[in-house]
Amino acid sequence: MKQMRANKRSTEQPLLSVEDLKVTIQMDNAVLKAVDGVSFTIEKGKTLGLVGESGCGKSLTSRSIMSLNPKECETTGEILFNSSLDQKLKGLNILDLDPTGKKIRSIRGKKISMIFQEPMTALSPLYTIGNQIMENILLHRTKNKKEAKQIALEMLRKVGISDEEKRFNDYPHEFSGGMRQRVMIAIALACNPELLIADEPTTALDVTIQAQVLELMKSLQDELGMAILLVTHDLGVIAEICDEVAVMYLGEIVEKAPVHEIFNQPKHPYTKGLINSMPILGTGKQRLEPIEGTVPLAINMSHKCGFYDRCTHRIQGICDVQAVPETQVSSNHSVRCFLYNEHEEDEQNA
Amino acid sequence: MLKYIIKRFLLVIPVILFVSVIVFFVIQLPPGDYVTHYAAQMAAQGEKMTAQEITEMRQNLNLDRHWFIQYLLWMRDIIFYFDFGHSFNYNEPVTAVIERYMVLTLVVSTITMAFTYLVAIPIGIYSAVKQYSIGDYIASAIGFLGMATPNFLLAIILMYFSYVNFGNPLLGLFSSEYEDAAWSWGKVLDLAKHMIIPVIVIGTASTAGLIRIMRAQMLDEINKPNVVTARAKGLSEQKILYKYPTRAALNPIVSTLGWTISSIFTGSTITAIVLNLPIQGPVMYEALLGQDMYLAGTWLLFMAVLTVLGTLISDILLAWLDPKIRTEIKGG
């Protein structure tokens, strides 16, 4: 299994590789393991969806990449960003950089940018959107204000804001939710980043607007060629734009596969549960199947599988005693569940 | 925007007229009037006024008329002659008395206010940014102590220390040799020296309060998502701090600036009495004690007008600072 990964790395380096990322939060008398050994890679120009319930650590995972975690968090692991434009960044672990230092600031907003869930609060109500777009253009692209304004106007046009000359001087409260998210996208993409992290970009929007925003992100990806890490709890969003999906549960990635495989051949009981709890249009009679129980708090966890208490396929004596290893089901499909452990052994024996 | 200001300004006039009636009503409410007070004073000096003398004096001063007539007469003089009446205590026009104390009152108040804001805002920001650090704890402790200590007590303590260490309690605003001297560098220096205790005493409580407000505002703003957005753009921490949380946290503070106007013109009373400061507060206090109704009435009216104007200024400042309110005004 390890060999296979090594082989893959040697052929072509992925744009972003995250190895054994751990985020822990020191509580009064316990340690909360919010992210517990997450590894994944994103290829240049591709989209990875990170899906999971609230509190599973997906947001902290995405913020770790830009070293934006709150100071209460202790973040360890390795995050390598292989910019094709900046060779100096090769082999540099982002987590080793000073989170307020110059180096990381030259990556933020320029090589990697981010859009957030709530476009109203993510923009400052006190400055015009023009001011807020120009901010990172002036920081990373040009010192010339006129030129920066031209770039900003072009970005606004690109994200579908008409009458951009006038809208440039408007304040965020004068925009609707969908328009604000378009502004956020314009800000994020203003410096042609190689990676865009979208943290629940459509959660706060109406369904019709959601589709528009996703469509916009997709077309901009085709045009600008950036990779996207899409964090969401919405499998519908995943289906729409992702190439690959990583399902997170309780700080761990429990299943990782190309998007069509996740939907057609889900392996992990949790992934199956997620898909079953999704409404399907046109099959009105079918009842939704919720996953029973709630996500436990990741404090003082024993070795057992985090999903054990809610799992319908649990094997007593195995799932609750041993740490669950990652099993490779096929070359690009891995799952963290004992149900498939034997399967692998069978294959190896055969 | 201009339309809004004019509209608000016109609304101020009826409010002030209404307030002036109430002020006058309240001023003449206590039993007796200036003449009773005067007669009592004369009696204390051994001169007894006859009943006829008392009635005559009352008639001369219009004090025997109904209070509303007195009010109308007072208002007529104010509106047509800018005459706010005669101060019985000082035996000169009210405006002259107020004028005499105004400059020093303004000097003391503005310096105190500048001290308050200049000290409180940076400490508040520091306290929020370094929340739960030793510096934050020290600032909080001093803040609570400052709020809880009564001003006059602090005044007495500081005067005591000044007397013990420098042999001078620094009473008043000038040393005796400069009291009536013309303005010179020596006098200014002397004033500056005498300002230290009043500024600390009057300023401490509001400084302490402002530190708490600024800290709470900053903590609110620092954790807002727009700060994370700014960080994700690659801005430096310092630039983020000034442009986003500090600017946003200042809004409520700047917008309440208008309300402090009335206190700037009136100055503090109890502290001024303890420190023997020649500012408006004690003058007002004397006027109320001595039933000097026109002086007291003018004072109250003046404060009311300043409060109303201060609120107006606050509203305009808020509209100027907050784009959201600006849009509402444009729309309405």
Residues in a beta bridge with A10: none
What tens digit of pLDDT does each residue of A120-132 get?
889 999 999 999 9
pLDDT of residue A285: 57
pLDDT of residue A300: 67
Give the ranges where A102-176 is alpha helix by DSSP (H).
102-107, 119-122, 129-140, 145-158, 164-167
Q: Which residue has the tokens 């051949």?
A: A265
Residues in a beta bridge with A232: A51
Flag whether pLDDT at A20 surpasses 90. yes
φ and ψ at residue B37, rounded to 5 degrees: -60, -45
Measured between alpha carbons, how far is A120 from B97 in angstroms, rounded to an integer? Answer: 55
Choose among A68, A128, A139: nearest Cβ to B235.
Answer: A139
B230 neighbourhood in chain A, CB within 8 Å: 124, 135
Q: What percent of chain A has pLDDT over 90?
A: 49
The predicted model gives A53-74 an average pLDDT of 90
Query: Which of B131, B229, B322 best probes binding to A when mutated, by most A CB atoms within 10 angstroms?
Result: B229
What tens digit of pLDDT does each residue of A88-132 get?
777 789 999 998 899 999 999 999 999 988 888 899 999 999 999
A114 neighbourhood in chain B, CB within 8 Å: 229, 232
The predicted model gives A257-265 an average pLDDT of 93
pLDDT of residue B48: 82
Contact A109 B324 (CB under 8 A): no
The answer to whether B165 and B178 are in contact (CB under 8 A) is: no
Contact B226 A107 (CB under 8 A): no
CA dihedral B171, B177, B180, B182 (to 10 degrees): -120
**Reported ipTM:** 0.84
Measured between alpha carbons, how far is B263 from B94 in angstroms, rounded to an integer? Answer: 19
Among candidate residues A303, A298, A308, the one with its CA nearest the CA of residue A323: A303
The predicted model gives A302-315 an average pLDDT of 80
pLDDT of residue A302: 67
Among candidate residues B213, B319, B304, the one with its CA nearest the CA of residue B262: B304
More confident residue, B307 or A10: B307
Measured between alpha carbons, how far is A27 from A299 in angstroms, rounded to an integer? Answer: 9
The answer to whether A77 and A19 are in contact (CB under 8 A) is: yes
Choose among B233, B243, B244: nearest Cβ to A108.
Answer: B233
pLDDT of residue A9: 44
Flag whether pLDDT at B165 surpasses 60. yes
Measured between alpha carbons, how far is A65 from A79 in angstroms, rounded to an integer? Answer: 7
Query: Between the ranges A3-12, A206-215, B147-156, B218-227, where is the mean pLDDT highest?
Result: B218-227
Flag whether pLDDT at B220 surpasses 70. yes
Among A117-131, B4-18, B249-263, the least confident range? B249-263
The predicted model gives A174-202 an average pLDDT of 92
A180 neighbourhood in chain B, CB within 8 Å: none
* Closest chain B CA to residue A170: B323
Give the ranges where A78-128 is alpha helix by DSSP (H).
102-107, 119-122
Flag whether pLDDT at A5 surpasses 50. no
pLDDT of residue A145: 93
Measured between alpha carbons, how far is A21 from A73 in angstroms, rounded to an integer? Answer: 12
Residue A342 — very low, low, confident or very high, per pLDDT cuts 50/70/90? low
Look up residue B224 and give its two tokens. Answer: 């807002």
pLDDT of residue B124: 94
Domains of chain A: 2-111+193-280+290-349 (3.40.50.300)
Measured between alpha carbons, how far is A11 from A14 in angstroms, rounded to an integer? Answer: 10
CB contacts < 8 Å between A and B, how many?
A: 74
What tens digit of pLDDT does each residue of B300-326 get?
888 888 888 888 888 888 888 888 888
pLDDT of residue B90: 87
Domains of chain B: 99-286 (1.10.3720.10)
Measured between alpha carbons, how far is A218 from A172 in angstroms, rounded to an integer? Answer: 24
Measured between alpha carbons, how far is A279 from A289 in angstroms, rounded to an integer? Answer: 9
The predicted model gives A149-167 an average pLDDT of 92
Q: How far is CA B272 from the centre of its chain?
A: 12
Query: Which of A126, A134, A200 best probes binding to B when mutated, by most B CB atoms within 10 angstroms?
Result: A126
Q: Give residues with Cβ within 8 angstroms of B118, minimum separation 6.
A: none
Choose among B224, B234, B327: nearest Cβ to A136.
Answer: B234
Look up residue B10 and give its two tokens. Answer: 């016109």
Q: Which residue has the tokens 């230092």?
A: A101
| Alpha-carbon distances, residue B5 vs B197, B228, B306 (angstroms) | 40, 37, 16
